[in-house]
Amino acid sequence: MRLLEAFRGSAIRLPNRIAMAPMTRGRADDSTGVPHPRTAEYYAQRASAGLIVSEGVWVSRTGKSGPGIPGLVTERQTEAWRAVTDAVHENGGRIFAQLWHAGRVSHHGVTGRTPVAPSAVRQAGRIFTAEGWTDTVEPRALGEEEIGEVVQDFAAAARRAAEAGFDGVELHGANGYLIQEFLARNTNRREDRYGGSVAARLAFPLEVVAAVVEQIGAARVALRISPGNPENDIVEDDWKEVYSRLLVELRRYELAYLHVIDTPEVEALSHLRPLWPGTLIANLRSEEPTSQEEGESLIESGLADVVAFGRLFIANPDLSARFALHAPLARAGHDVYYGARLDGYTDFPAFESDSAKFACSARS
């Protein structure tokens, strides 16, 4: 079974090829951004994954997207994350922090501030706040000096992540948030050195990568992208050119990995895999959770070195063991995915086979 094989890349080594994808769970203290005390237990339960990528963690208060999302900018937050990484390491796991700035996908009802973006282009649809679903608001376009400040926010959060014991960081450049907003023409209408041509639209993402690499080293830095993904009202009709050039620029670093979200409509992996010589983690975006068979196919075809599973990890903390045993997979209801409630967080049990139950009862 290829998913259960150890993986050795140029910058990262894993005991298996199963990654736990970053998933927003919304359990942090909303006023302080400090992870919930049970967050350490939650990730430790899932430490048998080859790699855990944490939920998105905001690098500045303005970059927070919704209620209950944790940050990594204060000492209290850093201390709480240190408890998480200690618990994961004690259980034999590895964990990267996903560093996130939501850009225009935010609201003053969440942060107390006007959202920021490359350009003052309002997102279609609605956004979730503590008061429930509400209309989006027009963001404020970042000034050039402010863009440099945001770059340093990412760098500072990366330093915090290292202090907190994370094995590395994944920069969130997907799903229509700030980094992708600079890449997409419909959200980046700037006419300065950060907008217009493909090279100019690449400037901010590349500055973020460079600043973070300078802080903690390329082998501890990864990037997540979602080429052509329309989530959060992103339009990327030139994604092949944009992301091809992005990967060419990124090849100057020996990054830990590139994390690619793919969809059946876009098929980004088949285009980008030949352009990326380093480790590639694939994540399939579809109505149903990625299956074990789909993961095996991605490895066998060479489109991915590691496969990220998201929703299955919510109800199956021991997912790799269940794959090995071809055991039944539990399903979590969507109502427990997010929010302050603690049921549906750490209360999903590991699989126990009938033989294991019999052995336990015989010893008792």
- Residues identified as active-site: 177
Alpha helices per DSSP H over the chain: 39-45, 75-90, 108-111, 144-163, 178-183, 198-216, 239-250, 268-272, 292-301, 311-315, 319-325, 354-363
Query: Is the separation of the CB atoms in 19 and 308 below 8 Å?
Result: yes
| Closest to 215 measured CA to CA, from 279, 262, 271, 151 | 151
Query: Is the separation of the CB atoms in 15 and 320 below 8 Å?
Result: no
Tell me the backbone φ, ψ of residue 81, rounded to 5 degrees: -70, -30
- Give 229's contacts (C-beta < 8 A, 6+ positions apart): 174, 175, 176, 180, 236, 261, 263, 266, 285
Element (H, E) at 132: strand 132-135
| Closest to 18 measured CA to CA, from 100, 93, 98, 99 | 93
Query: Is the separation of the CB atoms in 153 and 76 below 8 Å?
Result: no
DSSP states along 74-100 = SHHHHHHHHHHHHHHHHTT--EEEEEE
